[in-house]
Chain A
Amino acid sequence: MSKYTLTINQKKQTVDVDSGTPLLWVLRDSLNLTGTKYGCGEGICGSCVVHIDGKAERSCILDVEDVVGNSITTIEGLADKPDHPIFKTWIELEVMQCGYCQPGQIMTLATLLEQNPKPSRKEIDDAMNEVLCRCGTYQRIRKAVAKLVEEK
């Protein structure tokens, strides 16, 4: 067991966990930041996407010791700005159904639009294709992304 100081949503937090503990479980169990979801544990589904220094990463396959010193943002951090255009569009178009994968969808899209406000169709497809949704909200995600890109 070791102590790690992490920068999460611009706040320093110290956690006492085993090395090799995935960031996902540190967020969920140690810090009660449960907006980041467990879906597959293998980096396949994307429900656990967080931002590491502004880049979308899967927290279920990131060891805690590898993110010390990095800036970590979770969905709760993004939601500090509840009027973020993504949230507004998500509500306006009623994108979500069960909502479980949506933090992963939103975090993935947020970095994409941050890095490139006018991504091409292929860039959008490549990024969003990596996040699974069992309810089938893909069409509405597509419409929401199109709207966001258009309004940029």
Chain B
Amino acid sequence: MKKLNEIKRREFIKVVGLSGGGLFLASYVPLQNVLAKPGDDPKIFTPSVFLKIDSNGVVTIIVHRSEMGQGVKTALPMLIAEELEVDWKNILLEQADADRKYGSQTTGGSTSIRRNWEPLRIAGATARIMLITAAANKWNAAIENCEAEKGFVINKLNNEKLSYGDLVEDASKLPVPKDVKLKDPKDFKLIGKRVHRVDTPDKIYGKAIFGIDVVIPGMLYAAVKRCPTINGKVLNFDGTIAKSVTGVSEVVQISSGVAVVANSTWRAFNGRDKLTIACVAGPNVAKSSEDIHKELVNKSKTDGFVFEKKGDVSKSIEDEELVESIYEVPFLAHAPMEPMNCVAKFEEGKAELWAPTQNPQNARSEVAKALGISENDVTVHVTLMGGGFGRRLVSDFAVEAAEISRASGKPVKLTWTREEDMKFGWYRPPSMHVLKGSIDKKNNPIKFSHHVIAPSITQMRFAPNLPPQNYDIQEGTVGLEYQIPNMRIAGTTIKTNVPISWLRSVYNTQNPFAIESFIDEMAYSANKDPYGFRRDLLPDDSRLKNVLNVAAQKSGWKTEKNLPKGKGRGIALFKGYDSFCAQVAEVTVKNNKVKVDRVVTVIDCGIVVNPDLVESQMEGSIAFALSAALKGEITIEGGAVKQSNFDDYEILTYNEMPVVEFHYIKNTYSVGGVGEVGVPPCAPAVCNAIFAATGKRIRKLPIRLS
């Protein structure tokens, strides 16, 4: 996604005295989506609360981002605990409800650590300094002679000790220091360590409560029948037979379809199956994937809006060798293991939700909008979630649950079936890529042009008049580090009524696939080794070049001649989310079947907060990218999604997982994101390896060799 203008943010930290004598340390992070109230008295200013310490010394850290497997529930508190100097094992964690006072809670774009790296450490450091000051005042000692350690302040001169709990009251009366000094990275005790995940035991014992596991008093169960075609509208329905199903109590119409409420999930599903609904087909009833493909082809013949330009790609150069290819990828579904679901209770004009959402504030505002009530009357509790991958950034399931609860007058748990999850998703848009390049007679690349054609998520959903320079489809196309004298990067959007949305690494799932595959084609055209070709095109001080070199070295990069017949090695790289990643894939191709044997992945994400979490994100990114490269395809037929479950929308299995070798660069650059950066280079590395093994260039995903 195109980043919003970076704004230097100031963090305001203030202490709010609590009736219970607790020290509340609060950070207010003004973000663009937060309505500032400049006229308010600071005392009633509602700052965010990331941490509290009570007079018993209990430290509670509030996690304001959503835990969906990536480990924020472990990594974000590490930032606070590092600066607070508190025993990691004695911290309580609380999941924050949706509230703008936290700043952005949107768990997407690999931002959780990047955007909270400073605010959370400042929150921890400020609290520590105030506790130290309180102790120094008590002892009449110099602050310099006092230090904090594991929840205590110690007087270094006489080893006197006071616990944080003992200091809470005094500390809360102190003025809040400005410009607190943060630790030098070399002094980190927690950051950089493989700290165990806080959520593992409950999850593996089957005790953890995901959205789908939430039970509240008086709760009933709901299922929704939707019109079969995308954007179809219910004309009328007959719930008589559905209502006769044992346990079914209500049949109610909501904005997306007709809901059946029953006293168990299974009965709700059965009731839903017995519903008869008449629909007006959506405007797309006759549309198919083939139509969308044709539109992509038509638009591929245009020039596109130029995002970036250097030199002149249209001027012919003597003896240049032209290379030209077209790449294409389909719609994809997120398909997290936990299908969409939500618990909602609408009572006396107020809605309370328990939602597995990556986007709590959006769920809150969308529910308020749908019910016509104030956001202040909507509470969203964020649950654990069985994967997100971007799907849970959309709040459709929360709106449905709230509408059903209001219409039926009962608290309800809405559960989507897997089939509904597959057929009524928000898909990764398809795209086509026209790539052209040329090589001069000295075998140097002299031209590179890329025209991406795809539906724009922003344009379709938020800004119909989006100016072309702001097209989100340019993500991953611009700012390439390759030094080629003549470059042209352009894009064209197409319209689609198929719901589209952000899927892990978004347009970086598409553009780098085309670019890194095509760079490979150019390397072969120039008779150069694909690794050396890339290396020579990158500036010397480039962090991207460094990860590329390390990946080549760690993988034992040699030409394909050194691998046995039928095997090949491919390389690709990517930068984004303030991180850099290079991958080398090794494949075996036998009887037109591809087996990915090994992926060496090297990441430079600056300071690493928890190497174990980075490593699991890399493994996960590779598995996610391979599902898409080897298998993933959502097709539209007659205005509806054809696929319905994991048998026709397959994902990677245990036996298909390659050996992943993980390496990271140790440095002190500012933190980069790690949840997505490993996805983009994987598909092109694999396809480049297939070319090395077979001489066949894959230009369309999913990979089909026969």
Please give the residue numbers on chain A whose beta carbons come within 8 Å of chain B beta carbons, in ascending order: 1, 17-18, 21-22, 25, 28-30, 32-42, 44-45, 47, 74-76, 79, 82, 87, 90-91, 94-103, 106, 125, 128-129, 131-142
Q: Are A47 and B203 in contact (CB under 8 A)?
A: no
Q: Are A140 and B619 in contact (CB under 8 A)?
A: yes
Q: Are A44 and B646 in contact (CB under 8 A)?
A: yes
Kindly report which residue of chain A lies nearest to residue B197, judged by CB atoms: A94
Q: Which residues of B contact A45 (CB under 8 A)?
A: 337, 646
Binds A, one of B77-85, B161-169, B205-213: B205-213
Kindly report which residue of chain A lies nearest to residue B334, judged by CB atoms: A134
Q: Which of A36, A47, A87, A129 contacts B204 (CB 8 A)?
A: A87
Give 17 A-B pairs besides A39-B339, A96-B204, A134-B335 with Cβ atoms closer than 8 angstroms.
A34-B213, A35-B206, A35-B207, A37-B212, A39-B418, A44-B645, A90-B200, A91-B204, A97-B70, A100-B337, A103-B206, A129-B653, A132-B653, A134-B389, A136-B622, A136-B623, A142-B654
Binds A, one of B250-258, B264-272, B304-312: B264-272
Map CB proximity to A onto B615-644 as digits: 1 under 8 Å, 0 otherwise: 010011111100100000000000000000
Q: Are B387 and A135 in contact (CB under 8 A)?
A: yes
Q: How far is the CB of B334 from chain A (nearest CB, A)?
A: 8
Q: How far is the CB of A17 from chain B (nearest CB, A)?
A: 7
At the interface, yes or no: B660 with Cβ under 8 Å from chain A? yes
Q: Are A42 and B418 in contact (CB under 8 A)?
A: yes
- In the assembled complex, the Cα of A139 lies from the Cα of B656 at a distance in Å of 10
Q: Which residues of A contact B200 (CB under 8 A)?
A: 90-91, 94, 96, 99
- In the assembled complex, the Cα of A90 lies from the Cα of B337 at a distance in Å of 19
Q: Which residues of B contact A133 (CB under 8 A)?
A: 337, 623, 654
Enumerate B329-344 residues with CB–CB distance to A below 8 Å: 335-339
Q: Are B655 and A129 in contact (CB under 8 A)?
A: yes
- In the assembled complex, the Cα of A74 lies from the Cα of B647 at a distance in Å of 25
- In the assembled complex, the Cα of A104 lies from the Cα of B71 at a distance in Å of 21
At the interface, yes or no: B415 with Cβ under 8 Å from chain A? yes
Enumerate B29-84 residues with CB–CB distance to A below 8 Å: 68-71
A-B contact pairs, 29 of them (CB 8 A): A17-B266, A18-B247, A18-B267, A29-B221, A29-B265, A34-B210, A34-B213, A37-B212, A38-B265, A39-B339, A40-B418, A40-B646, A41-B419, A47-B337, A74-B206, A75-B205, A75-B206, A82-B201, A87-B204, A90-B200, A96-B204, A97-B620, A98-B336, A98-B338, A99-B69, A99-B384, A100-B338, A134-B335, A134-B624
Q: Are B267 and A37 in contact (CB under 8 A)?
A: no
At the interface, yes or no: B589 with Cβ under 8 Å from chain A? no
Q: Which of A28, A99, A128 contacts B203 (CB 8 A)?
A: A99
Give the bracket for the number of chain B residues in contact with chain A.
35 or more
Task: Given A29-B266, A39-B418, answer yes or no on A94-B69 (Cβ-Cβ < 8 Å).
Answer: no
Task: Given A79-B206, A97-B620, answer yes or no on A131-B387 (Cβ-Cβ < 8 Å).
Answer: no
Q: Which of B206, B654, B659 contacts A128 (CB 8 A)?
A: B654
Q: Which of B207, B387, B652 contacts A98 (CB 8 A)?
A: B387
Q: Which residues of A contact B207 (CB under 8 A)?
A: 35, 76, 79
Q: How far is the CB of A122 from chain B (nearest CB, A)?
A: 10
Pairs A-B, 3 closest by C-beta atoms: A35-B206, A136-B623, A100-B386
Q: Which residues of A contact B620 (CB under 8 A)?
A: 97, 135-137
Q: How far is the CB of A137 from chain B (nearest CB, A)?
A: 7
Enumerate B367-389 residues with CB–CB distance to A below 8 Å: 384-389
- In the assembled complex, the Cα of A41 lies from the Cα of B274 at a distance in Å of 18
Q: How far is the CB of B416 from chain A (nearest CB, A)?
A: 10
Enumerate B165-222 residues with CB–CB distance to A below 8 Å: 196-197, 199-201, 203-210, 212-213, 215, 221
Q: Are A25 and B266 in contact (CB under 8 A)?
A: yes
- In the assembled complex, the Cα of A45 lies from the Cα of B650 at a distance in Å of 10
Q: Which residues of B contact A35 (CB under 8 A)?
A: 205-207
At the interface, yes or no: B657 with Cβ under 8 Å from chain A? yes
Q: Which of B199, B212, B616, B652 contacts A38 (CB 8 A)?
A: B212
Q: Which residues of B contact A33 (CB under 8 A)?
A: 206
Q: Are B621 and A136 in contact (CB under 8 A)?
A: yes
Q: How far is the CB of A5 from chain B (nearest CB, A)?
A: 18
Q: Which of B196, B387, B645 contacts A100 (CB 8 A)?
A: B387
Task: Given A37-B337, A76-B205, answer yes or no on A100-B654 (Cβ-Cβ < 8 Å).
Answer: no
Q: How far is the CB of B643 from chain A (nearest CB, A)?
A: 12
Map CB proximity to A onto B653-697 as digits: 1 under 8 Å, 0 otherwise: 111010110000000000000000000000000000000000000
Q: Which residues of A contact B542 (CB under 8 A)?
A: none
Q: Are B266 and A22 in contact (CB under 8 A)?
A: yes
- In the assembled complex, the Cα of A44 lies from the Cα of B339 at a distance in Å of 14
Task: Given A18-B246, A45-B337, A47-B337, answer yes or no on A138-B657 (Cβ-Cβ < 8 Å).
Answer: yes
At the interface, yes or no: B483 with Cβ under 8 Å from chain A? no
Task: Given A18-B267, A37-B386, A42-B645, answer yes or no on A99-B199 (Cβ-Cβ < 8 Å).
Answer: yes
- In the assembled complex, the Cα of A18 lies from the Cα of B266 at a distance in Å of 9
Kindly report which residue of chain B lies nearest to residue A101, judged by CB atoms: B337
Q: How far is the CB of A24 from chain B (nearest CB, A)?
A: 9
Kindly report which residue of chain A lies nearest to residue B620, judged by CB atoms: A136
Task: Given A40-B646, A75-B205, A90-B204, answer yes or no on A30-B264 (Cβ-Cβ < 8 Å).
Answer: yes
Map CB proximity to A onto B418-459 as digits: 1 under 8 Å, 0 otherwise: 110000000000000000000000000000000000000000
